[in-house]
Structure 1
Amino acid sequence: MSLTALDRSAAPETVTTAPRGGAVDLVGVGRTFPGVDGRRDVLRGLTLQFRAGEMVAIVGPSGCGKSTLLRVIGGLDRPTTGEIAVARHPVVDTDARTAIAFQEPRLLPWRTIAQNVELGLPRGAGRRAGRERVAELLELVGLTASADLTPRQVSGGMAQRASLARALARGPEVLLLDEPFGALDALTRLRMQDLLLQVHAAEPTTVVLVTHDVEEALFLADRVLLLRTLAPGDDSGSVARILTAPGQRPRDRANAAFADLRAELLTGLGVDTHHAPLP
């Protein structure tokens, strides 16, 4: 597969507020950074396709390039080697077809929740259409009653919901989520996972989710991509394995079929799943 066969002359489709999933193609993607002892490969040899409307979770040890992969897909960083395309159009800069949400909500404290969501609207959105879109998204994430509150007046989970709504406001074809629930308490995290599935069902963008939580990856994703940390002199690629989660969403968190996949992922992350528990 080569991106040279893609149509480079056609302009990307105009972004609208009607999201639709776009396939993501990566061909030979690598990212190298300067280091103390020379240049260090963080990503190497990534040739993958994320299908339109698919939800993919990325797991791996710290420093293996999970967040870097999100950044190059979204055009926030450039790969050192290889090419990336969204919906068959190459990514060459910050790309309006993608939107990203981080672990911290990054809301502007002097703006209301509704005004923060409004910041995500695409350029040229009419005032009336923009208000309707913001109201629609606030209802989708359960924040209608909190629209006029400021970020300081809402909980961490509500702030993260506002961040998700802001990312969806432009109608992205690809939604990139970098540990979006990592700072939340356990119960709120479970609720946010359920909310993400509801949002994805209502607005089926392609979702690429970075997480350190194996259970979360298996519960949410269609496929789980396990990355490895590249060692000096190691010529292998960044992908350790790709696993397909069983069944259709929404899944039962207690599904016994998760056990083997969970063990495989934990082993790949260097966790001894056979270690005896402490007394």
Structure 2
Amino acid sequence: MHKARKRFGQNFLNDHHVIDRIVKSINPTVGQHLIEIGPGRGAITEPLLQALDGHLDVIELDRDLIPILKAQFFRYEGLEIHEADALKFDFASLAQDDRPLRLVGNLPYNISTPLMFRLLEFSELISDMHFMLQKEVVERLCAAPGDSAYGRLGIMMQYRCEARYLFTVPPGSFSPAPKVDSAIVKLTPRKELPYKAENFQLFAQVVKAAFAQRRKTLRNNLKGLIDEQALTNIDINPSVRAETLDIESFVRIANAMHESAQ
């Protein structure tokens, strides 16, 4: 039996009720192009293969798990196992036809945030993503203005995706059991952006700076990027904290900066 490795942040799902619930949430059907990130011991892999008529791409970093997965699923000729680091993987290389990609996975806690930022680069190729993450991370992804969990991660993801908290998964559903609750989130890339940043990198810079020190006001955190009068001119109160602003407000700030630089 393969033992979970701390350096890969491995916690293997072994609760059949939770597995069934996850697969029902994903609702895979024959002909869809699914990619599983970090299949581990294959808890979700098998029901996905059955639903997809044996066709599935999986990305696994732990080389010791590869022969286990190959032996376990040798009957499925359509299973493609990619030994790779998902943080560096070119997901566009798998988009070889007009089918959108559907991503699923139980993401290690130590790479979940950087991986989701990485996946935003491929959002135009993706129809949806179902991930198991630390509950706290899912709360941040789905947070609204004014929530204590609202911040940079939620804003950047919700700019590109609709984020939906599906359900909580307790520690006892894993081996070894983590010390925190997990949760399932569904992320659906937006086909059209409700608020378009003229310069995405500038928008990202504004959001990062605004939350650099959460207890400080926009006046302080955005000092050097945009002055108080410019904020007032676009109906943004310089004396409020970043956590009170919605995504459209951050886009407005970034677009005002972009326009003034022209």
Q: Which has the higher contact order (CA 8 A, sep 6+)?
A: 1
Greater radius of gyration (CA) = 2
Q: Would you tell me which structure has more helix in proportion to its own residues?
A: 2
